[in-house]
Amino acid sequence: MPLKDLIRSAVGRKLFMAITGFILFGFVVAHLLGNLSIYLGANGINAYAEHLHQLEPLLWVFRIGLLVAFGLHVFFGSILTLENWKARPIVYKRKKHQRSTLAGRTMIYTGLLLTLFIVFHLLHFTFRLIGPETEILAGGLPNVFLMVLESFRQVGFALAYLVAMTILFFHLSHGFASLFQTTGLNNDVALPWLERLSRAIAVALAAGFVSIPVLIFFGLVIK
Ligand code: HEM
């Protein structure tokens, strides 16, 4: 099927959502693994940040790819939602949500909130325009360990990330379920198991991320 027709068809759009969602998921897993190096102390996470920046030209290719995947995911996600809303113009007195979950029905909202979180997160840790002042190390890179530690010792930042990771959990738990459906792995026997698997993956990822602000806030990660 030509690309133009694929984009125009509902199945094609779902396919784009699945592929771009999978790329974003890959980033989230890699980012979590990198972030967990905070538990190895300043040397762990700062060395990790340094290695990443040494990959500089390649890092930009990767960042641009990620941005394109993100843009397409938001674009097709918004179109799919608008189409769904248009297809159901009648407001029923008693809403029946057959086989639909709260996470599924709120994908557009959790997606938009996650977009806001990413803007906030980039301003916080990448551009360092908000949050405590950061020490700059000899090589010109920030002291990522102290930057994260000092931020999450403040209740406001710890809470903001806790809320954002809860939203991430909801978004991912449905994201996987629909990824499996798009790939056709959704017969009556497999579906309940795939839904459980989706939730388990989302719980594991969200728990990994949440552990960082929570353990830091309660003083369990020290300099
Ligand atoms: C506790 C949770 C998190 C922590 C501690 C954390 C930490 C960081 C840090 C320190 C950086 C800056 C890296 C650098 O410039 O050297 C960063 C960048 C970034 N984070 Fe996170 N992050 C968290 C959660 C997330 C989540 C859930 C997402 C996405 C949904 C995310 C998306 C990003 C993106 C897109 C960047 C920019 C990457 C780049 O510049 O190449 N982060 N994060």
Tens digit of each residue's pLDDT (9 = 90 or more) over 21-43: 999 999 999 999 999 999 999 99
111-157 pLDDT tens trace:
999 999 999 999 999 999 999 999 999 888 999 999 999 999 999 99
How far is the centre of ligand 1, averaged over its atoms, from the C-alpha of 151 (Å)?
13
**pTM > 0.85:** yes
Task: Supply the residue whose CA is at minimum distance from atom 8 of ligand 1.
Answer: 125
pLDDT-based confidence at residue 161 (cuts at 50, 70, 90) = very high
Per-residue pLDDT averaged across 148-176, rounded? 96
Q: What token pair was written down for 150? A: 């000092």
Residue among 162, 196, 157, 163 nearest 177 (CA): 196
pLDDT at 70: 98
Q: Closest ligand 1 atom, CA of 213? A: 1
Task: Please return the burial class of 154, using the count of CB atoms within 10 Å of its CB with bins 0-12, 13-18 and 19+.
Answer: middle
Ligand 1 neighbour 51 (Cβ under 6 A): no
Q: What H or E segment, with its residue span, contains residue 56?
A: helix 56-87
Protein residue with least CA distance to atom 11, ligand 1: 125
pLDDT for 190: 81
Q: Provide mean pLDDT across the span 6-18.
A: 85
Q: Which atom, in ligand 1's list, is nearest to the CA of 210?
A: 1
Q: 150 alpha carbon to ligand 1 midpoint, in Å?
A: 16
Helical packing angle, 190-217 and 10-35, nearest 10°? 40
End-to-end CA distance of the chain: 57
What's the chain's average pLDDT?
A: 90
Q: How confident is the model at residue 93 (pLDDT cuts 50, 70, 90)?
A: low
Enumerate residues 6+ apart whose C-beta is below 8 A from 148.
38, 45, 125, 212, 216
| Domains of the chain, earliest start first | 3-217 (1.20.1300.10)
Which residues, at least 6 apart from 113, have a Cβ–Cβ distance to it below 8 Å?
A: 164, 167
User: What is the 190 CA–ligand 1 centroid distance (Å)?
Assistant: 34
pLDDT of residue 9: 84
- Ligand 1 proximity of 166 Cβ (cutoff 6 Å): no
Could you report the per-residue pLDDT of 182-193, keeping only the tens digit for each? 777 667 778 888
